[in-house]
């Protein structure tokens, strides 16, 4: 395998080259010497070890060396281009409550926005300003001259056609902004109008078709900066960008299409003729019926879409009144509230959610896989034992963190250097510590510390509570001895002073009770929303 | 002159084609017929009149037809590229109080940011969160994962090298965001550190030099998307953009340069070699001493700069403590607060300010030009008369709007169809109405209505106030008769009911008094800040 020396060295993962906390590089590219070269390299333990001619040593995982390029999130390469028929069986959508509760559901919605360019949330409360709350679930609201949010309804003296009842052809918003807002949200508060349906067109698909059907027109649109403009009393915006923007590799990465705000191009007449021919061809393409995805936004629906890719439209409607508050008397009104946000934060939120979903999936796999195994010879499986402990905590009204601690208190049996079986053969696997340390990657101390102390809590209870030791199961009595036996009076006094010891004792009691054979216990999925809430904190 | 038909028609300014309120187009480009052509055209009264083959008629100002292209605001074409020596006599700066008070000063600062990429505001109050107020004077704060604002000071457990005391080489911020924040603000609250100076490099100039000195390296950097990344517990950002982004015409429009957060390029080794050679060459160029503009931010300084163009840096410093509140005891500390915003709103704010400055300049020209002329035969010039009225209102403690009304009450003499001279020859020029109508383009009714009523107020006062008429100057007595003489009792009762009649009467009294020969009167400049405030409302 041929390796580029500066590239390889720039990616050295050693702690002198990269901050272990955040991965930021600690040297400048100009710090590397001229003529940098590999003096020697060896493959060892799935790593490539490199000695450089300036004496530095680097060590690269072989899997990293040959990893493929990751998707770029923004160009057509990372998208699924579509026509209306692709959604014949339904559009990407989710219920607001599920979206809030379940990171997997939320990730699916955000993935749809990235992949298809849009998704609809249903049953979002029809309250004013709620659209801002939706945006805050995945990013930051981008304010514009239209405000933090804007009301789309008929206005008596509109500064924009959006605020009338006329039909609006497919377009992207704010083309006169640079940077253009990359996401738009439209939350329907009221739609009793006749007409006023919504339409979406995949602008990337339209551009892709243009490239196929009329490559010269496509090239003309990608290489002609167009002056977009907007002017009123308080604003005078202008951006010069092509209708179809491609990245340096020629991949479509932005469509900016808004007939209403194209200003005056200043080019020789022949170039203007060519541009207008291409523009008209592209515009006609965006109007093809097979590209028009039409649906109606009903109250509670919130459409989230990629404003660098999708064109949105609405049919004309018969207005039922102007500027009335939502929910007022009278029919025929249509009232949406909209705001803008950005794709980069959405992608970041999705990546972090995917990490969380991966944690939940890992835990679920443990419960459903290894967890089915026996639990120290008790009459329940390991998973049943932990699920029962979680249910006991839940029934006792414990806070989320403590329910999670009860549920997960024995994960160290899966993940320690030694397993529960070894504990039962006389070796303390210190499972409380290994479990707590492993979980601390994702959960706070309110979850991990009761787990860390739950073994000590048994030794404590046996020391201070008459009759407790006698109540232990046979296996628990055995492991007590492996774990050091009851605390001394001094140890017990110290333990009682520790922060979190009360919670550890609570977990311990549920632990001892959670060994009921044949109890009806909910499965791991029951606890996912609770764990998801904790992961989000 | 050869005209492109679709281009010409797309720019038809008639009210059927364009909303007169906001200039938005009312037709779709696809609404225009195939084979659109000019049937006939005539030049008349500085306009081109066009009859189209679909029967539509358009009328274009000749000056519009031949107007040059406007600057695009964002590429190198619209910038003044610089080296450090260009600021040997000082950097673009302004005092915060002047910046707030004077739209011309504010416009100059924003113009500097657009043209040179930066400016410094001095004596900004050293209060926490003040940087947000600075940003709000020209745009909207762009929130990021670092918060609405971020503190640049030594932190015990930094998630970014910015929050340490090490030197930071020239770079742009947030390259892993797309859209990248296009403006950055850094407000110095405290800088008692040894070291910790600031540096700026014009990235466009560096890119321009690279293009001249190593065209192949320049081309390599413009055509290689680079994966920038940042990852911590709460964020996972990634953007794939070239180090030097050019627009479709090849003009430099963005530099993205941050060694710390360049991720792993995945390309064939030969391309990696070429990229790294070009990258190292560009990086070395950004470090050339002649490009480094160095200065120290002192408490109260707020640096505003273009994060798509300028690279910023800081020298290492000896930290005086970690995470202490500003103003606390102990020396050596450095504390900046920063935030992000965007260039599009800055350009919009500048354009609107320039409109305001143009209004103020127009008024000033009137006072200093035509205003020097005689005032209806009085012993003072027109300008002196109006300035005296303004001063009288000011001394009486009148609100800004009423001072402005007093100052501007006779602008109608300049702008009516007939002039003051004609009024003195027996023709009522209705100057109160023409003045009020003209000013209403920019000022609210609190300014314009007292002006509109100030002639009526004289007729009112002569009707209701014994002795008032006798106090009039000879000229004023003459014009009273031209204007209709004293009101009847009924007219006077109606007038007293009008909203704003009290203010009109006040203006009238100052008007009558403002005829003192040889009074020392401040010039128009004295009133500019007050008028500027009103224009901003």
**pLDDT tens digits, A69-88:** 888 889 999 899 999 999 99
Cα separation, B203 vs B209, in Å, equals 10
- Cβ partners under 8 Å of residue A502, min gap 6: none
Instruction: Find the residue in B nearest to A239 (Cα).
Output: B72
A220, A211 in Cβ contact below 8 A?
Answer: no
Preceding amide of A179 cis, omega within 30: yes
Instruction: Please name each of the domains of chain A with its CATH number.
Output: 5-65 (3.30.2020.30), 76-348 (3.60.130.10), 369-535 (1.10.3210.10)
Rank A219-223, A360-364, A490-494, B484-488 by mean pLDDT and report only the highest.
A219-223
- Cβ partners under 8 Å of residue A242, min gap 6: A221, A222, A223, A224, A225, A226, A256, B248
Cα separation, B203 vs B208, in Å, equals 8
Q: pLDDT tier at B140 (50, 70, 90 boundaries)?
A: very high
* Chain A partners within 8 Å of B145 (Cβ): 345, 348
B142 and A140 within 8 Å at the Cβ level: the answer is yes
| pLDDT above 50 (res B367) | yes
Give me the pLDDT at residue A327, please.
43
**What is the rounded end-to-end Cα distance, in angstroms, of chain B?**
44
Give me the pLDDT at residue A168, please.
87
B283 and A30 within 8 Å at the Cβ level: the answer is yes
Q: pLDDT tier at B326 (50, 70, 90 boundaries)?
A: very low
Residue from B236, B308, B358, B442 whose CB has the most chain A CBs within 10 Å, to mutate? B236
| pLDDT above 80 (res A236) | yes
**pLDDT tens digits, A519-537:** 888 999 999 989 998 988 7
Instruction: Find the residue in B nearest to A158 (Cα).
Output: B21
- Cβ partners under 8 Å of residue A24, min gap 6: A18, B160, B161, B230, B260, B261
Residue from A348, A355, A442 whose CB has the most chain B CBs within 10 Å, to mutate? A348
The single-letter DSSP state of residue A21 is T
A264 and B11 within 8 Å at the Cβ level: the answer is yes
Which candidate from B24, B143, B280 shows the least CB-CB separation from A29? B280
| pLDDT above 60 (res B419) | no
The mean pLDDT value for B218-235 works out to 94
For residue B183, the distance in angstroms to the closest alpha carbon of chain A comes to: 11
Instruction: Find the residue in B nearest to A32 (Cα).
Output: B280
* Chain B partners within 8 Å of A227 (Cβ): 70, 72
Residue from A237, A248, A278, A346 whose CB has the most chain B CBs within 10 Å, to mutate? A248
3-state secondary structure (DSSP) of residue A32: coil
Cα separation, A484 vs B371, in Å, equals 101
**pLDDT tens digits, A405-438:** 999 999 988 754 445 556 666 666 678 888 898 8
- Cβ partners under 8 Å of residue A390, min gap 6: A403, A404, A406, A407, A527
The mean pLDDT value for A322-343 works out to 71
A25 and B262 within 8 Å at the Cβ level: the answer is yes
B347 and A69 within 8 Å at the Cβ level: the answer is no
The mean pLDDT value for A125-152 works out to 97
Helix-then-strand count for chain B, H and E: 21, 19
B352 and A234 within 8 Å at the Cβ level: the answer is yes
B267, B226 in Cβ contact below 8 A?
Answer: no
**pLDDT tens digits, B386-417:** 999 999 999 999 999 999 999 999 988 875 44
Q: Among A153-162, A164-173, A451-460, B201-210, name the one with the lowest average pLDDT.
A: A153-162
Q: pLDDT tier at B166 (50, 70, 90 boundaries)?
A: confident
Q: Among A169-173, A263-267, B496-500, name the one with the lowest average pLDDT.
A: B496-500
Give me the pLDDT at residue A424, please.
66
B347 and A235 within 8 Å at the Cβ level: the answer is no
B21 and A145 within 8 Å at the Cβ level: the answer is no
For residue A502, the distance in angstroms to the closest alpha carbon of chain B comes to: 29
The mean pLDDT value for B334-343 works out to 96
* Chain A partners within 8 Å of B146 (Cβ): none
CB pairs under 8 A between A and B: 238
- Cβ partners under 8 Å of residue B289, min gap 6: B84
| pLDDT above 90 (res B227) | yes
Q: pLDDT tier at B423 (50, 70, 90 boundaries)?
A: low
Give me the pLDDT at residue A373, please.
77
**pLDDT tens digits, B25-50:** 989 999 999 999 999 999 999 999 99
**pLDDT tens digits, A435-480:** 898 898 889 999 999 999 999 999 999 999 988 998 888 888 888 8
Q: Give the length of chain A.
A: 537
Q: Kind and range of the H or E element at B411?
A: none
Give me the pLDDT at residue B422, please.
61
The single-letter DSSP state of residue A502 is H
Q: List, as own/partner pairs, every contact residues B435-439 make where C-beta atoms lie below 8 angstroms and the sequence separation is at least 24, other chains included.
A: B435/B408, B435/B409, B435/B410, B435/B411, B436/B412, B438/B411, B438/B412, B439/B408, B439/B411
* Chain A partners within 8 Å of B71 (Cβ): none
Nearest to A185 by CA among A159, A150, A155, A153: A150
- The angle formed by the CA atoms of residues B245, B248 and B253, to the nearest 5 degrees, is 35
- The angle formed by the CA atoms of residues A139, A145 and A147, to the nearest 5 degrees, is 55
A142 and B145 within 8 Å at the Cβ level: the answer is no
A7 and B272 within 8 Å at the Cβ level: the answer is yes
A23 and B280 within 8 Å at the Cβ level: the answer is no
| pLDDT above 60 (res B323) | no
Nearest to B392 by CA among B285, B293, B512, B501: B512
* Chain B partners within 8 Å of A26 (Cβ): 161, 260
* Chain B partners within 8 Å of A259 (Cβ): 25, 27-29
Instruction: Find the residue in B nearest to A35 (Cα).
Output: B277
B7 and A344 within 8 Å at the Cβ level: the answer is no
* Chain B partners within 8 Å of A10 (Cβ): 262, 276
Q: pLDDT tier at B1 (50, 70, 90 boundaries)?
A: confident
DSSP per residue, B337-386: EEEEE-HHHHHHHHHHHHHHHHHHHHHHHHHHTGGGSB-TT-SSBHHHHH
The mean pLDDT value for B421-448 works out to 81
Nearest to B420 by CA among B409, B203, B36: B409
Give me the pLDDT at residue B344, please.
97
* Chain B partners within 8 Å of A66 (Cβ): none
Which candidate from A3, A248, A283 shows the least CB-CB separation from B28? A283
| pLDDT above 70 (res A94) | yes
Q: Among A324-338, B152-166, B336-350, name the one with the lowest average pLDDT.
A: A324-338
Angle formed by the axes of helices A501-513 and A382-395, nearest 10°: 120
B334, B317 in Cβ contact below 8 A?
Answer: yes
* Chain B partners within 8 Å of A75 (Cβ): 240
Instruction: Phi first, then psi: give them for residue B23, nearest 5 degrees.
Output: 75, 0
- In DSSP terms, B246 is beta-bridged to B252
- Cβ partners under 8 Å of residue A253, min gap 6: A74, A75, A76, A245, A246, A247, A308
| pLDDT above 50 (res A483) | yes
Which candidate from A6, A140, A230 shows the least CB-CB separation from B276? A6
User: In whole numbers, what is the pLDDT of chain A averaged over residues?
Assistant: 91
Cα separation, A93 vs A119, in Å, equals 5
**pLDDT tens digits, A113-131:** 999 999 999 999 999 999 9
3-state secondary structure (DSSP) of residue A311: strand
Instruction: Phi first, then psi: give them for residue B369, nearest 5 degrees.
Output: -100, -100
- Cβ partners under 8 Å of residue B487, min gap 6: B456, B459, B460, B462, B463, B464, B495
B206, B342 in Cβ contact below 8 A?
Answer: no
Q: Among A100-114, A386-400, B115-129, B415-429, name the one with the lowest average pLDDT.
A: B415-429
A344 and B249 within 8 Å at the Cβ level: the answer is no
For residue A306, the distance in angstroms to the closest alpha carbon of chain B comes to: 13
**pLDDT tens digits, B191-226:** 988 888 899 999 999 999 999 999 999 999 999 999
CA B35 to chain centre: 43
Q: Among A154-163, A344-353, B403-412, name the one with the lowest average pLDDT.
A: A154-163
| pLDDT above 60 (res A331) | no
A338, A185 in Cβ contact below 8 A?
Answer: yes
Instruction: Find the residue in A nearest to B249 (Cα).
Output: A223
Which has the higher per-residue pLDDT, A370 or B365?
Answer: B365
Cα separation, A203 vs A82, in Å, equals 9
Question: A494-528: buried (b, 16+ CB within 10 Å) or exposed (e) per residue?
Answer: ebeeeebbebbbbbbbbbbebbeeeeebeebeebb
Cα separation, B342 vs A177, in Å, equals 10
**What is the rounded end-to-end Cα distance, in angstroms, of chain A?**
44
* Chain A partners within 8 Å of B231 (Cβ): 22-23
| pLDDT above 70 (res A481) | yes
B161 and A24 within 8 Å at the Cβ level: the answer is yes
Give me the pLDDT at residue B420, please.
55
- Cβ partners under 8 Å of residue B221, min gap 6: B207, B210, B242, B243, B244, B275, B278, B279, B282
Which candidate from B6, B25, B273 shows the least CB-CB separation from A260? B25
Give me the pLDDT at residue A415, please.
55
3-state secondary structure (DSSP) of residue A259: helix
| pLDDT above 50 (res A400) | yes
State the Rg of chain A over Cα: 31
Tell me the pTM: 0.87
Alpha carbon distances (Å) from B150 to A427, B142, B162, B163, B519: 51, 12, 10, 10, 54
B29 and A259 within 8 Å at the Cβ level: the answer is yes
Alpha carbon distances (Å) from A130 to A149, A196, A505, B170: 10, 21, 43, 41
Alpha-carbon torsion, ordered A343, A348, A350, A355, to 10 deg:
170
State the Rg of chain B over Cα: 31
């Amino acid at each position: 395998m041929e390796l580029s020396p500066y590239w390889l060295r720039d990616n050295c993962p050693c702690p002198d080259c990269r901050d272990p906390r955040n991965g930021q590089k600690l040297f400048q590219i100009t710090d590397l010497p001229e003529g940098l070269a590999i003096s020697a390299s060896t493959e060892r333990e799935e790593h490539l070890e490199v000695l450089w001619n300036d004496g530095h040593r680097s060590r690269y995982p072989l899997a990293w060396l040959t990893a493929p390029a990751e998707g770029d999130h923004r160009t057509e390469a990372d998208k699924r281009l579509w026509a209306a028929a692709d959604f014949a069986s339904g559009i990407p959508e989710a219920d607001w409550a599920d979206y809030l509760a379940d990171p997997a559901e939320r990730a699916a919605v955000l993935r749809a926005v990235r992949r298809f360019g849009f998704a609809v949330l249903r049953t979002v409360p029809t309250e004013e300003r709620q659209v801002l709350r939706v945006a805050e679930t995945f990013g930051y609201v981008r304010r514009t001259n239209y405000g933090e949010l804007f009301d789309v309804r008929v206005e008596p003296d509109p500064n924009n056609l959006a605020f009338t009842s006329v039909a609006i052809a497919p377009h992207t918003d704010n083309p006169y902004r640079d940077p253009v807002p990359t996401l738009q949200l439209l939350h329907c508060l009221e739609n009793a109008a006749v007409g006023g349906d919504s339409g979406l067109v995949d602008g990337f698909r339209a551009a892709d078709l243009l490239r196929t059907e009329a490559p010269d027109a496509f090239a003309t649109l990608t290489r002609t900066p167009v002056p977009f403009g907007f002017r009123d009393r308080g604003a005078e915006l202008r951006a010069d960008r092509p209708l179809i923007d491609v990245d340096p590799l020629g991949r479509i990465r932005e469509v900016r299409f808004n007939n209403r705000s194209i200003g005056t191009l200043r080019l020789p007449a022949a170039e203007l003729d060519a541009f207008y021919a291409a523009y008209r061809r592209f515009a006609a393409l965006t109007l093809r019926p097979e590209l028009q995805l039409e649906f109606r936004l009903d109250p509670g629906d919130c459409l989230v879409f990629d404003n660098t890719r999708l064109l949105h439209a609405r049919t004309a409607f018969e207005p039922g009144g102007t500027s009335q508050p939502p929910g007022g008397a009278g029919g025929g009104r249509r009232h949406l509230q909209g705001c803008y946000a950005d794709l980069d934060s959405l992608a970041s939120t999705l990546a972090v959610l995917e990490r969380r979903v991966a944690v939940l999936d890992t835990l679920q796999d443990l419960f459903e896989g290894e967890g089915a195994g026996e639990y120290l010879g008790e009459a329940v499986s390991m998973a049943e034992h932990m699920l029962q402990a979680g249910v006991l905590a839940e029934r006792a009204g414990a806070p989320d963190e403590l329910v999670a601690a009860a549920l997960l208190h024995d994960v160290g049996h899966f993940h320690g250097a030694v397993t529960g079986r070894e504990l039962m053969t006389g070796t303390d696997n210190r499972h409380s510590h290994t479990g707590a340390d492993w979980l601390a990657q994702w959960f706070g101390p309110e979850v991990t510390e009761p787990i860390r102390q739950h073994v000590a809590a048994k030794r404590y209870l046996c020391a201070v509570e008459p009759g407790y030791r006698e109540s232990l199961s046979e296996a628990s009595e055995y492991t007590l001895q492996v774990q050091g036996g009851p605390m001394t009076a001094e140890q017990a006094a110290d333990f009682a002073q520790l922060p979190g010891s009360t919670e550890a004792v609570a977990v311990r009691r549920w632990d001892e009770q959670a060994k009921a054979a044949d109890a009806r216990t909910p499965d791991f999925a029951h606890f996912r929303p609770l764990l998801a809430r904790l992961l989000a904190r």
